[in-house]
Structure 1
Amino acid sequence: MTVRIERPLSPHLQTYRWTLTMALSIVHRITGVALYFGTLLLAWWLIAAASGPAAYGNVQAFTSSFIGRLIVFGYTWALLHHLLSGLRHFCWDLGYGFKATEREALTWGALIGGIALTVLLWIAAYAVGGGR
């Protein structure tokens, strides 16, 4: 007969109450993966620009479509959110921002800042580019 030893269970996600900090930590990882694929799109654009007008026209046709603009908008948000979230992690690496109020402020700053900067960047790009 085998005797079962009672051991404490390891905490699992169901044990914890979800917080915005936890959610944005996961979003930070997801945006990192999204940046990988978005950078492939950027590389396609640069290679096409170096290849000539026909190749560049194909990329421009894609990025000018609704789906293309949606992807580029998402890439812009992922880039800016990942940047701000990375700065949040950098603050933590320096030993700052661990109090509950500071942690929440940094988290909300990364979330709202990423969205706001994305919208402002696109507004500026449309203003400078004339809506092209």
Structure 2
Amino acid sequence: MAEAKAPPRAADRPLSPHLQIYRLTWTMAMSVIHRLTGIALYGGTLLLAYWLIALAAGADAFATAQWVFGSFLGRVVLFGYTWALLHHLFGGLRHFVWDLGYGFDLNARMNLARANLIASGILTVVVWAIGLSVG
């Protein structure tokens, strides 16, 4: 009768690749930021829901919400939410380009990642400049 073989010890098992092995690249950073902006959009959507609920709840509740969002910290959070929204949008467009089968060579990947950062930053400033000039 054959003898049963013992399972491998934890030290004998291969390790999965981790951050100490990989060199951080633009596309890796954009992937992490895309995920983080997706998470931030959940928080921003809760703020939007709070604002809409305050609008429906009456003048006093809405005035409080307007005060919160109009404060310095409120505007910083809204500016960050705007950037997260636009960055996530451009990241999704970058993935759409990849889904179409384009942009996989090194230069294209780098250019798409940089364009994502630059476009989201510039468009955030443009949106806020328009918003502040109108309001």
TM-score normalised according to structure 1 size: 0.90
Counterpart code for 2:62: Y
Are 2:116 and 1:118 aligned? no
* Cα drift, residue 11 of structure 1: 2.2
* Cα drift, residue 75 of structure 1: 0.4
Q: Who is 1:81 aligned against?
A: 87
Match for residue 25 of structure 2 among 19, 29, 33: 19
* Pairwise CA RMSD: 1.7
* Structure 1 residues 63-83: Cα deviation after superposition (integer angstroms, max 9, x where no partner): 011110011111000000000
- Distance (Å, rounded) in 1 between the aligned partners of 2:66 and 2:117: 30
- The number of residue pairs the alignment matches comes to 128
Are 2:69 and 1:63 aligned? yes
- Distance (Å, rounded) in 2 between the aligned partners of 1:7 and 1:91: 38
- Distance (Å, rounded) in 1 between the aligned partners of 2:67 and 2:17: 50
* Cα drift, residue 10 of structure 1: 3.1
Counterpart code for 2:55: A
* Percent of aligned positions that are identical: 58
- Distance (Å, rounded) in 1 between the aligned partners of 2:120 and 2:35: 15
* Cα drift, residue 20 of structure 1: 1.2
* Structure 1 residues 82-127: Cα deviation after superposition (integer angstroms, max 9, x where no partner): 0001110111112111011110111001111111110010001011
TM-score normalised according to structure 2 size: 0.88
* 3-state secondary structure, aligned to 2:20: coil
* Cα drift, residue 8 of structure 1: 5.0
Q: Rg: which structure is higher?
A: 2
- Distance (Å, rounded) in 2 between the aligned partners of 1:36 and 1:10: 31
